[in-house]
């Protein structure tokens, strides 16, 4: 099993451009999480899905950020328009989650986003 797959691994874009990050969770996992890692704030939860339904998006910084999970094997995180302060490493994680108990989260390799 390749684990959680994220693409691209690196993205460099200019301010104002749209950025789409992609994630493929581990097969059979029904919870998916998007995190952002910065030097200042560490690892922050942005949004998570259970059975393709967004459960908590309170961590999404503002309307420029949106996330979708159209099916059990794919999720996207979109930033439109991007700004330099969005530069960070974005991690996707998945688990055999339920809403009543914790299950280990498996992380992808991350996407390093640089907005110039």
Partner 1 sequence: AQRVTQPEKLLSVFKGAPVELKCNYSYSGSPELFWYVQYSRQRLQLLLRHISRESIKGFTADLNKGETSFHLKKPFAQEEDSAMYYCALSNQAGTALIFGKGTTLSVSS
In the complex, which residues of this chain contact partner 1 (CB under 8 A)? 3-4, 31, 33, 35, 41-45, 48, 50, 55-56, 91, 93, 95, 97-110
As a whole number of angstroms, the distance between CA 116 and CA 114 comes to: 6
As a whole number of angstroms, the distance between CA 41 and CA 103 comes to: 24
Strand, helix or coil at 2?
coil
8 Å CB contact between 76 and 23: yes
**Nearest residue (CB) to partner 1, 21 versus 82:** 21
Closest contact distance (angstroms) between CB of 5 and partner 1 is 11
**Nearest residue (CB) to partner 1, 31 versus 82:** 31
Closest contact distance (angstroms) between CB of 58 and partner 1 is 10
Q: How far is CA 84 from CA 13, 22, 42, 88, 95, in A?
A: 9, 20, 17, 9, 31
Closest contact distance (angstroms) between CB of 56 and partner 1 is 6
**Nearest residue (CB) to partner 1, 44 versus 83:** 44
């Amino acid at each position: 099993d390749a684990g959680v797959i994220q693409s691209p691994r690196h993205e460099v874009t200019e301010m104002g451009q749209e950025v789409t990050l992609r994630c493929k969770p581990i097969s059979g996992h029904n919870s998916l999480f998007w995190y952002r890692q910065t030097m200042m704030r560490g690892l922050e939860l942005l949004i998570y899905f259970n059975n393709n339904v967004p459960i908590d998006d309170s961590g999404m910084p503002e309307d420029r950020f949106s996330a979708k999970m159209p099916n059990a094997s794919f999720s996207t995180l979109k930033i439109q328009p991007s700004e330099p302060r969005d530069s960070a490493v974005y991690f996707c994680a998945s688990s055999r989650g339920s809403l009543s108990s914790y299950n280990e989260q498996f992380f992808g390799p991350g996407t390093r986003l640089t907005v110039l």
